[in-house]
Structure 1
Amino acid sequence: MTPPCIAVIDDEPAVRSGLSNLLRSEGYAVEGFASAEAFLQARAVPAVVLAIIDVKLTGMDGFALFAHLLRCPAPPPVIFISGHGDETMQNAALALGAVAFLRKPINIDTLLEHIQRVLSRGKPGG
């Protein structure tokens, strides 16, 4: 079984690798996925302590993936990212229970603050 990690689900390779490299440089274990389907097929959910999900993915979109995750016994906290997000989308994401909704280009300090806050809770959702 893989150690607990942060999942980055984004279909843009540059964003996925950039975020993954940044988080690794901060000391986090990271696994990147090009699609919601790839993430689900990897059966990575139990090992993930936080998921960073792009709203607009090829195939299943980020909101559909989040809805799927919420049906899991212990869903990981989710931070949504989007290059196309607006206030309505942000409000919808937060109403569903997302930790945060960040617009691209992502403010790295804000992202890291959210990650630290979530992981310092000790357990997802607590």
Structure 2
Amino acid sequence: MTLSARIVIVDDERSVRSGLSNLLLSEGYSTCVFDSAEAFLNDEAALAQACLLILDVKLKGMSGLELYRNVILHSSPPPVIFISGHGDEQMQQYALSRGAVAFLHKPINIDTLLEHIRRLLAA
């Protein structure tokens, strides 16, 4: 991973954002956090520098799934891992069928998350 490449976390819960960011920083990854899809989309460099997106499905304003539909329109979108405390099987199937690499339910199994991240960033 290059120094400019970051794992972007978009979640409207501060505790989730900070917890995931702290975990990933302790594992040696660079992170960037946003509390909404709109805040992420307003940061022009964020998508360009992202090596991976971790998106909450249910956000205030634009949902994580709506954000994902915007992201995949770019020429080289980063891989996406969805996290959700409200997701159901239909939502999970939809996200995975559109190319998301994982759909993890909250509370997140940290070992599973890190396994996905290591696999994706090693490729």
Amino acid at match of 1:61: S
Map Cα deviations across residues 55-87 of structure 1 (whole Å, 9 max, x no partner).
Answer: 000111001100000111110100000000111
Give matches, 1:26-105, under 5 Å.
26-43=27-44, 44-105=46-107
The count of corresponding residues between Structure 1 and Structure 2 is: 120
Corresponding letter in the other structure for 1:30 = T
Residue 34 of structure 1, CA deviation = 0.2
Task: Provide structure 1 residue ranges, at least 5 long, that are not aligned to the other structure.
Answer: 122-126
Whole-angstrom distance in 1 between the partners of 2:109 and 2:4: 27
Let me know the Cα RMSD of the aligned residues: 0.9
Residue of structure 1 in register with 2:121 after alignment: 119
State TM-score, norm by structure 2: 0.95
CA contact (8 A) 1:46 1:74 kept: no
The separation in 2 between residues aligned to 1:110 and 1:21, in whole angstroms, is: 17
Work out the CA distance in 2 between the residues paired with 1:40 and 1:4: 17
CA displacement at 1:92 relative to structure 2: 0.8
- Helix, strand or coil: the match of 1:27? coil
Measure, in 2, the Cα distance between the counterparts of 1:97 and 1:61: 17
Higher mean C-alpha deviation, range 87-96 or range 105-114:
87-96
> Residue 110 in 1 paired to residue 117 in 2?
no
Unaligned runs of 5+ in 2: none
CA distance in 2 between counterparts of 1:52 and 1:21 reads 14
CA distance in 2, matches of 1:111, 1:89: 19
1:26, distance to aligned residue in structure 2 (A): 0.3
Structure 1 Cα separation of the partners of residues 59 and 19 of structure 2: 17
The 4+ residue runs of structure 1 with deviation greater than 2 A are: none
Query: CA–CA distance in 2 between the matches of 1:54 and 1:65?
Result: 10
